[in-house]
Amino acid sequence: MSGPLLRVENLTKHYPLAAGFLKKTIPVVRAVEDVSFTVDAGETLCIVGESGCGKSTVARVLMRLAEPTAGRVLIDGTDIAGLKKHALRAYRRRMQMVFQDPYASLNPRLTAGQIITEPVENYERLSRNQCQALAAGLLEKVGMSPEMMHRLPSELSGGQRQRLGIARALSLNPSIIIADEAVSALDVSVQAQILNLLMDLQQNLGIAYVFISHDLGVVEHIGHRIAVMYLGRIVELAPCEALFAKPVHPYTEALIAAAPVPDPTRFRLEAVVEGEVPSPINPPTGCAFHPRCPLAAERCRIEVPSLVPIDDGRVVACHVRAPAANGKAQPAAAPVGTPMCSS
Ligand code: ADP
Ligand code: MG
């Protein structure tokens, strides 16, 4: 099949808030605004950004746990919104999800074996022996002993529970797994084990991931391409190495500068950009980052910047660093590395 495995086009999700009596306009939370990206088979696309920027909303819409306000989600070129029941079920199998908190997402009354085989049993009847063989095989795939199939989630460690969540996601042989903060609740050493497991599974099974995290260190480890979100929009999308070597959007630059690294010369985000993420109910005009951006110019306050291709497969939405002129890409205007900190 040519073309990307997953194509997300202009995805928008607004949550209407409770309407006031006789109020003309209902306020909405602009959780996701005009987000587009693709994911190839076997690729890891990471979505990174501060809490509240819309990452989980993207995941929920991809999984059809929420309806998009606008935009399309295509798998192998097919718009899943247009599918009837039977075809939708077939497509649903291909996209599975792993959640942040496996404890909350695993039924505490079921054994590990029952948890893993449940998704398959939604599609086909399995004998007791088939269930056991399936559970044993999946547990081995995620590095657990088959005997663990008799345990309850409460009898497993945090890392084992997350392995179980991954085994359950694998049970339907998906082409793509959406992992939302899948390692964020784990200790750093366990995080590394789970990330390595995900990468091994990708190598062996060719699975693609949409890997969502607020943690740049984690996405640098696992990502092929990184999408940086700010207040519902993608502000920069670039191959992983290029993004970390040369962030172009001032927000990406600030995020990287603020990441906890054992380098005392790096700043924390609060030191680099002032203020907090504004409310998505009343987002700033123009570029949503302009109130915090040290490079902000007049145009940034007025006009929403569109994503402009720069080089090395990167797109950036910034009037200063990637100005769009007559629809054509321009070389970066303000030199990258312009100090972000006024002091
Ligand atoms: P992230 O995962 O990046 O932390 P979310 O996608 O969870 O961000 O949230 C994005 C914004 O949408 C936040 O302001 C959040 O409060 C809001 N939001 C999320 N879900 C709902 C909902 N069901 N109703 C109203 N607002 C929501
Ligand atoms: Mg989230």
- Which pLDDT tens digit goes with each residue over 275-300? 778 889 989 999 999 999 999 999 99
316 to each of 162, 188, 320, how far by Cα in Å? 34, 31, 10
* Nearest protein CA to atom 15 of ligand 1, as residue: 52
State phi, psi for 189 to the nearest 5 degrees. -70, -40
105 backbone dihedrals φ, ψ, rounded to 5°: -100, 0
Q: What is the pLDDT of residue 238?
A: 98
Structure confidence at residue 316 as a pLDDT band (50, 70, 90): very high
Q: Does the pLDDT value for residue 265 go beyond 60? A: no
pLDDT in tens, 178-229: 999 999 989 999 999 999 999 999 999 999 999 999 999 999 999 999 999 9
User: Which residue has the CA at smallest separation from atom 27 of ligand 1?
Assistant: 15
Ligand 1 centroid – CA 55 distance (Å): 8
pLDDT at 326 over 90: no
Residue 54 CA, closest ligand 1 atom number: 6
Residue closest via CA to ligand 1's atom 5 equals 54
How far does the centroid of ligand 1 lie from the alpha carbon of residue 277, in Å?
13
Whether 1 shows a pLDDT value over 80: the answer reads: no
pLDDT tens by residue, 69-115: 999 999 999 998 878 888 888 888 899 999 887 778 889 999 999 99
Res. 235: pLDDT tops 80: yes
pLDDT at 81: 83
Which pLDDT value is given to residue 232?
97
Ligand 1 centroid to Cα of residue 32, in Å, is 9
User: Which atom, in ligand 1's list, is nearest to the CA of 281?
Assistant: 14
User: Parallel, antiparallel, or unpaired for β 6-16 and 28-39?
Assistant: antiparallel
Nearest CA to ligand 1 atom 6: 54
Q: What is the pLDDT of residue 153?
A: 94
CA atoms of 338 and 226, how far apart (whole Å): 22
DSSP reduced 3-state for 245: helix
What atom of ligand 1 comes closest to residue 53's alpha carbon?
Answer: 3
Tell me the whole-structure pTM to 2 decimals. Answer: 0.91
Residue 279 CA: nearest ligand 1 atom is 14
Task: Give per-residue pLDDT as tens, 202-211.
Answer: 999 999 999 9
User: Residue ranges of the alpha helices (H) in the chain?
Assistant: 55-62, 85-94, 102-105, 112-121, 128-141, 158-170, 188-205, 216-222, 240-245, 250-258, 269-272, 298-302
CA distance 9 to 68: 11
Please provide residue 47's backbone torsions phi and psi, each rounded to the nearest 5 degrees: -115, 125
| CA-nearest residue, atom 22 of ligand 1 | 15
Q: What is the pLDDT of residue 333?
A: 60
Distance of CA 46 to the CA centre of its chain: 5
Exposed/middle/buried for residue 96 (C-beta within 10 Å: 0-12, 13-18, 19+): buried
Q: Which residues pair with 97 in a beta bridge?
A: 178
* Rounded-to-10 torsion of CA 186, 224, 267, 31: -80
Better pLDDT: 244 or 18: 244
The ligand minimizing its distance to the Cα of 281 is 1
Query: Looking at residue 70, what is its pLDDT?
Result: 97
Residues in contact with ligand 1 by the CB-under-6-Å rule are: 15, 29, 31, 49, 51-57, 280
Residue nearest to atom 21 of ligand 1 (CA): 15
What's the rounded mean pLDDT across residues 126-149? 96
Higher confidence at residue 275 or residue 175?
Answer: 175
**Mind giving me the DSSP string for 301-338?**
HHSPPPPEE-STT-EE--TTTS--BTTB----SSPTT-
Nearest protein CA to atom 17 of ligand 1, as residue? 31
Which ligand has an atom closest to residue 47 CA? 1
301 has pLDDT over 90? yes
Backbone φ, ψ for residue 63 (5° rounding): -85, 0
pLDDT over 50 (residue 44): yes
Residue type (1 letter), 124: E
pLDDT for 341 beyond 50: no
Task: Please give the pLDDT value at position 259.
Answer: 74
Query: What percentage of the chain carries pLDDT values higher than 90?
Result: 73
CB within 8 Å of 109: residues ≥ 6 apart: 152
Distance 51 CA to ligand 2 centre (A): 6
